[in-house]
């Protein structure tokens, strides 16, 4: 989000594929639902730890969920 870069993510898509609500994913990750919502909306970039946990939950590589883009 800074220095002309953006972090996009496909959590919403993967959640839909796994039929998971934000609340359910948040509970599994040990964070608040607002955190998942903020990540989905691009308002908060998760830590590497959380990003890997989310990717593992969806059984995909981290770059399939999170995309680092330079503007």
Beta strands, E only, the chain: 5-9, 66-70
- The 10 Å Cβ neighbour count of residue 56 is 12
| Three-state secondary structure call for residue 58 | coil
Distance of CA 36 to the CA centre of its chain: 7
- Which positions from 6 through 35 interact with another protein, judged by CB under 8 A? 21-23, 30-32, 34-35
Q: Does 37 bind another protein (CB under 8 A)?
A: yes
In the complex, the smallest distance separating the C-beta of residue 32 from another protein, rounded to whole angstroms, is 5
Give the count of residues interacting with another protein (CB under 8 A).
17
In the complex, the smallest distance separating the C-beta of residue 44 from another protein, rounded to whole angstroms, is 5
In the complex, the smallest distance separating the C-beta of residue 3 from another protein, rounded to whole angstroms, is 17
């Amino acid at each position: 989000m800074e220095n002309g870069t953006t972090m996009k993510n496909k959590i919403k898509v993967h959640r839909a594929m796994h039929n998971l609500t934000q609340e359910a994913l948040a509970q599994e990750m040990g964070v608040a639902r607002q955190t998942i919502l903020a990540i989905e909306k691009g308002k908060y970039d998760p830590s590497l730890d959380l990003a890997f946990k989310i990717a593992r939950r969806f059984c995909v590589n981290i770059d399939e969920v999170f995309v680092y883009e330079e503007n």
